[in-house]
Amino acid sequence: MAFLVGALLAITATLLCAEPLLKATIKQDVGLGIIAVAPAFIVIYSIIFGVAGGIIAVIIYNLIGFTKRRKSLKDNGIAKF
């Protein structure tokens, strides 16, 4: 589940960062250069935010695992923290 959340965060961040580029392309007469470069920017954003989303997912997964272990140790009376 944590990996799905990380992937959704990556997709959302990619779309939010690509939005200004797409708006500028639609509103202004910028030529065909930006239309050719826009997919490259989207791919770069996807890679960057995909890696960041994966890292966030691993952190979330480890935090959930830590809290479950801590709770089970606390319930058994082994841990005092």
6 occurs within a structural domain: yes
41 occurs within a structural domain: yes
| Contacts of 61-69 spanning 24+ positions with Cβ under 8 A | 61/2, 61/3, 64/2
pTM: 0.53
26 occurs within a structural domain: yes
Q: Quote the domain boundaries for residue 33.
A: 2-75
81 occurs within a structural domain: no
Provide mean pLDDT across the span 2-21. 72
- pLDDT tens-digit profile of 24-52? 766 776 666 666 777 777 778 778 877 88
Q: What's the domain count of the chain?
A: 1
**pLDDT at position 17 over 70:** yes
10 occurs within a structural domain: yes
63 occurs within a structural domain: yes
